[in-house]
Amino acid sequence: MKKYLSLRLLSLIVIAYMLIAFAWWSVLLYTKNKDAFIAKAEYMKIVMIAESTIKSDQEFLQTQAYQDLAKQYQRQEWMILGEAFVFVISLVIGVWLINRGYNKEIVVANQQKNFLLSITHELKSPLSSIRLILETFQKRSLKPEQVAKFTNSALQETDRLTTLVNDLLLAAKIETTYQPSKEPIPLTETVEDIISKLKIKFNTAVFKVDSLPDNIFIEGDRLGITSALINLIENALKYSPKPANIEILLRSNQQNIIIEVADQGLGISDREKKKVFEKFYRVGSEDTRKTKGTGLGLFIVNEIVKAHQGKIIILDNEPKGTRFRISLPASLEFKSELEHINI
């Protein structure tokens, strides 16, 4: 960081030197041009007086030769001013572009550093829990209830690892070859499945699912859509104080399929709403930092929704918290062959 700062300082000094040097050269050129004009005009006047073409200064100022010289001088003056202006503007634009690029690089570098730190933690902590459990099994003979309890936590940790690895793979795929497939997905049922799994981990959370019609089917990439739903619902739980209160609204009509996930948690400020979809971005507040995460979740959700020609927006929930709204085109609604021929 220190290296970057001294580099930045050095480039600012060079730019300032260039500006001062250029200003000095411009002033010099300007005055030399004026001196040259005065000298030429004087010389011209002396020659004309010697040849008796003119008698007074007044007459000299009226001559065509002087008028041409004055015009040429003015043209040169404008040329110098114009070039100085273009140079300063180009320099300012250049410095602004470099600065913008530099700031972007710093942000990306910081995000990647945070990502590496969090990913290392996210990978290590389930692995050490599983190891500890296996060591306990090896060293001690446990009662069946204890075995069941430990096995259950080991399975949960394995699930956490699987989700993380899937997210990483999906994020890498999204940036290269992701093309959503077209499989029928029972949307309402998928949401209910996800909730029943999450209820084990977040046992105090209250969920409300409101689906209209009762069973919505869509056509898309099952893995991608499921991952997007898991990410949104898990975030709603992660960023809410316990007991979390989550509402999931599913609607299908002629125009759209709407999926809303609302919580009554920390909320997201308007400034952050635009940024949270960026890769590796995590809101910098202390409350958020206390939770585990990689900043990949919403990036994946947004990319999956876009790949399905949909849109995602973040709204403020009432009375508090966040409401994520996904709208997908109605063309993604799954219509079975039987429905098509109206049997």
Q: How many residues bind ligand ADP (CB under 6 A)?
A: 21
CB of 121 to ligand ADP, least distance (A): 12
Residue 150 contacts residue 136 (beta carbons within 8 Å):
yes
Q: How many CB atoms lie within 10 A of CB 109?
A: 12
CB of 285 to ligand ADP, least distance (A): 7
Element (H, E) at 217: strand 217-220
C-beta closer to ligand ADP: residue 67 or 110 = 110
Token digits for 232? 């949104």
C-beta closer to ligand ADP: residue 235 or 252 = 235
Peptide bond into 243 cis (omega under 30): yes
323 near ligand ADP (CB under 6 A): no
CB of 340 to ligand ADP, least distance (A): 38
For residue 336, CA distances in Å to 185, 186, 330 come to 12, 12, 14
CB of 210 to ligand ADP, least distance (A): 18
C-beta closer to ligand ADP: residue 217 or 324 = 324
For residue 1, CA distances in Å to 5, 7, 76, 119, 243 come to 6, 10, 47, 22, 41
Query: Which segment (47-55, 82-90, 219-227, 292-300) binds ligand ADP by CB under 6 A?
Result: 292-300
> Quick one: CA torsion of 64, 65, 69, 74, rounded to 10 degrees?
0
- Select from 283, 316, 325, 333 the one that contacts ligand ADP (CB under 6 A): 283
The residue among 187, 181, 234 whose CA lies nearest residue 210 is 187
> Quick one: CA torsion of 105, 110, 116, 122, rounded to 10 degrees?
-140
C-beta closer to ligand ADP: residue 324 or 334 = 324
C-beta closer to ligand ADP: residue 95 or 164 = 164
Token digits for 46? 């002396």
Write each residue from 214 to 233 as x if it is in contact with ligand ADP (CB under 6 A), else as -, in one continuous string: -----------------x--
Token digits for 89? 């503007």
302 near ligand ADP (CB under 6 A): no
Please give the residues from 257 up to 276 whose contact with ligand ADP meets the rule CB under 6 A: 263, 265-266, 268, 276
293 near ligand ADP (CB under 6 A): yes
The residue among 226, 247, 238 whose CA lies nearest residue 325 is 247
- Select from 126, 224, 297, 310 the one that contacts ligand ADP (CB under 6 A): 297
C-beta closer to ligand ADP: residue 188 or 322 = 322
- Select from 187, 225, 236, 326 the one that contacts ligand ADP (CB under 6 A): 236
Query: Which segment (63-71, 124-132, 249-257, 289-297) binds ligand ADP by CB under 6 A?
Result: 289-297
The residue among 253, 226, 228, 248 whose CA lies nearest residue 306 is 228
C-beta closer to ligand ADP: residue 45 or 238 = 238
295 near ligand ADP (CB under 6 A): yes
Q: Which amino acid is located at 316 in the chain?
A: D
CA distance 147 to 166: 28
- Select from 129, 190, 264, 294 the one that contacts ligand ADP (CB under 6 A): 294
Residue 224 contacts residue 180 (beta carbons within 8 Å):
yes
- Select from 239, 304, 312, 334 the one that contacts ligand ADP (CB under 6 A): 239
Residues that bind ligand ADP (CB under 6 A): 231, 235-236, 239, 263, 265-266, 268, 276, 281-283, 288, 293-299, 322
